Structure 1
């Protein structure tokens, strides 16, 4: 069976940005990374039309075992939600949440019919989405992609991953005749809720929400406030490498030294790659008017930090001829104040490579991308694969 990993990661990033008339700006970036196929998809609509001109919608879809479901949902899920008629300008939060829930069930039912008729691949997809109204933020989650809100410098809300080992999820799986083995449904699927994955939804007499894998999202609403700063929506290629609080601190810090949201997204992707993420990586940053702004003080501190790093490397390399891996291991061992919170010296690896070490030998990216730590010298093809949504050894695919 072919390896799910490449010998060398694909590092090209796809990035876009945009904004709305009502003060929301966003950027999205994605990278295939070590994975043999790019299975992520996304949707960014900062301003819906008609009576919903003050509404926005953002979503990340993390596909597994193929791309069909993720791509289909990225193009059609919002329309399916809106077609229920529950999302209106005169907003009723309970109606909106029910419309979202019904939209997920409707599109999953429709895809199930299409998959049988058109012989689709046997793929599935997680979904992490937000629907923004003038008054509320609706958090939508199905699977283990994740969203959080930074307000006044803190993570005030984040979605919970749907994993088979969660007691409530495990009970549903067992009631449907399945088991949870090695944190997977029937030893195969590592998420307990997803769109698609129709091999796990074949008990005709059971409702959609009581199958082995449920397409039902969890939906929460929060009232918007002037202290809202930004939203992060990302696939587990991000969350495998960095936690909520770390990422919040890192993005807040970067917003104070960079006014290009695409560049900040790219820095997050690089950080996750260098921290050992082996998956496709996709991230959306949505900034509200209350987000941190670039400050001269922060820019001066950033300049001083980069000068300090450059000085340390030059002093160390006077009597050495190191490669980039050597330089990064040396910097990791040094006490360097002022490094980006949540990122540390790892977040400076691209800068070190591009600006600080032109005289050093280059290192293969496979040597630089340590699995979890710089002490681990293995590449993905030498590792036991991480928990993917569909395990190659036990999946029916």
Structure 2
């Protein structure tokens, strides 16, 4: 769906520090940004804008159009907060093309360089693999999944080469959770521990599983087994006692530099030379192979929440969906609801960067749903009448018995 009418933005990324004005008009399909001397902040780092325009946090209303790209009428809210962390290593990307929208959350670690590469390149790899997006219009999910797996692998290979060429000893990495939204379906491709949740008639559907080398759930057990079969080990829930994510882009020391990682561990006294000599690697310990899912979007699909673990480690999916629903029923502003959700995570003492994207799928008339307070009042009033009826019935029965 073309979010911005015929003049598409190539990409827009949240930065709450910016004061530039962005306007969207659902009637005319207009979208404007002052472009003179635009300086943008990505993850706390400044970049000069050239061809691609970036805008601060706003809610985007899809323009009215009869074209396929505008069918769904998705409205976006997005925000990214540094929180308690010393560095901002998250980033958000939302892009549009003919027939679909793309949104991604990148959660970086050990530096920002991997995120910097991915925010520019992963979308390109995905679109090429999806044959310009045409595969999304078909019914062959197997072909879609294979294409996205190839895109992720290509992006990771290019990233590793780019990191080694430009930064030498760079050990940065990044998770990535991306969604493609078309008029009647959602495609998710996911590595790491960000999560996608769908609200379906107010019920939360968790659509992704975190890739972590600890825990007793099916996904974690599979990850632990894969790492051990590749010659690695888990110490305190971390691969080689180092990283608590089992699938990510970058992280060169667990891929093409595993032997160097072993020797560095010996030099730093993390393990002995004898221990290192016994290790035989049979594959990468951290991989960029995504889990890919297809989800049908019927009339009961309300909105999608895509967020980094800075939200989900402090708020469960049901609470998040209920929170967003309540806000949308109160004011209908997707962007404001997104910012309020991030603030709620901070109130719960989130210690991580927090990045959130909310896509209101345009299938729900929020004004027709009474706000929570009104619903509670109606419920309590009904309960009061029910109680009054029971009491009255009891009095009548007592009076009848006494008259016998």
- Into which bin does the TM-score normalised by the smaller protein fall? 0.5 to 0.7
Q: Does structure 1 conserve the Cα–Cα contact (< 8 Å) formed by 2:230 and 2:285?
A: yes
Q: Could you say what secondary structure the match of 2:349 adopts?
A: coil
In the TM superposition, what are the counterparts of 1:194-205 in structure 2 within 5 Å? 194-202=248-256
Give the counterpart of 2:75 among 11, 25, 30: 25
Tell me: CA distance 1:295–1:182, structure 2 relative to 1, closer, same or farther (3 Å): same
Within the alignment, does 1:244 sit opposite 2:317 as a pair?
yes
Aligned-residue offset at 1:202: 2.2
Tell me: CA distance 1:296–1:219, structure 2 relative to 1, closer, same or farther (3 Å): closer
Q: Report which of the two structures shows the higher radius of gyration computed on alpha carbons.
A: 2
Aligned-residue offset at 1:59: 0.6
Tell me: CA distance 1:85–1:278, structure 2 relative to 1, closer, same or farther (3 Å): closer
Q: Does structure 1 conserve the Cα–Cα contact (< 8 Å) formed by 2:326 and 2:372?
A: no
Provide the aligned length of Structure 1 versus Structure 2: 288
C-alpha distance in structure 2 between counterparts of 1:181 and 1:74, whole Å: 31
C-alpha distance in structure 2 between counterparts of 1:175 and 1:101, whole Å: 21
Aligned-residue offset at 1:153: 1.4
Q: Does structure 1 conserve the Cα–Cα contact (< 8 Å) formed by 2:80 and 2:92?
A: no
Which residue of structure 1 aligns with residue 346 of structure 2? Answer: 273
Deviations along 1:363-383, whole A, 9 cap, x unmatched?
xxxxxxxxxxxxxxxxxxxxx
Tell me: CA distance 1:85–1:219, structure 2 relative to 1, closer, same or farther (3 Å): closer
Q: Does structure 2 conserve the Cα–Cα contact (< 8 Å) formed by 1:252 and 1:292?
A: no
Output the TM-score relative to the length of structure 1. Answer: 0.68
- Structure 1 runs of 4+ off > 6 angstroms? none
Unaligned runs of 5+ in 1: 1-10, 305-336, 338-397
Which residue of structure 1 aligns with residue 90 of structure 2? Answer: 40
Within the alignment, does 1:291 sit opposite 2:364 as a pair?
yes
Aligned-residue offset at 1:259: 2.0
Give the counterpart of 2:186 among 134, 137, 146: 137
Which residue of structure 2 aligns with residue 310 of structure 1? Answer: none
Which residue of structure 1 aligns with residue 207 of structure 2? Answer: 158
Which residue of structure 1 aligns with residue 228 of structure 2? Answer: 174
Tell me: CA distance 1:85–1:266, structure 2 relative to 1, closer, same or farther (3 Å): closer
C-alpha distance in structure 2 between counterparts of 1:43 and 1:223, whole Å: 23
C-alpha distance in structure 2 between counterparts of 1:300 and 1:254, whole Å: 11
Which residue of structure 2 aligns with residue 319 of structure 1? Answer: none
Give the counterpart of 1:188 among 201, 226, 242: 242
C-alpha distance in structure 2 between counterparts of 1:18 and 1:56, whole Å: 12
What is the Cα-based RMSD across aligned positions, in Å?
Answer: 2.6
In the TM superposition, what are the counterparts of 1:279-358 in structure 2 within 5 Å? 279-291=352-364, 293-294=366-367, 297-298=370-371, 301=374
Unaligned runs of 5+ in 2: 1-15, 19-55, 63-69, 215-219, 260-281, 381-404
C-alpha distance in structure 1 between counterparts of 2:116 and 2:143, whole Å: 27
C-alpha distance in structure 2 between counterparts of 1:12 and 1:176, whole Å: 43
Q: Does structure 1 conserve the Cα–Cα contact (< 8 Å) formed by 2:231 and 2:283?
A: no
Aligned-residue offset at 1:210: 4.2
Q: Does structure 1 conserve the Cα–Cα contact (< 8 Å) formed by 2:213 and 2:244?
A: yes
Tell me: CA distance 1:152–1:284, structure 2 relative to 1, closer, same or farther (3 Å): same
Which residue of structure 1 aligns with residue 337 of structure 2? Answer: 264
Aligned-residue offset at 1:72: 1.6
Give the counterpart of 2:159 among 80, 88, 111: 111
Q: Could you say what secondary structure the match of 1:231 adopts?
A: strand
Aligned-residue offset at 1:292: 5.2
C-alpha distance in structure 2 between counterparts of 1:300 and 1:152, whole Å: 18
Within the alignment, does 1:122 sit opposite 2:171 as a pair?
yes
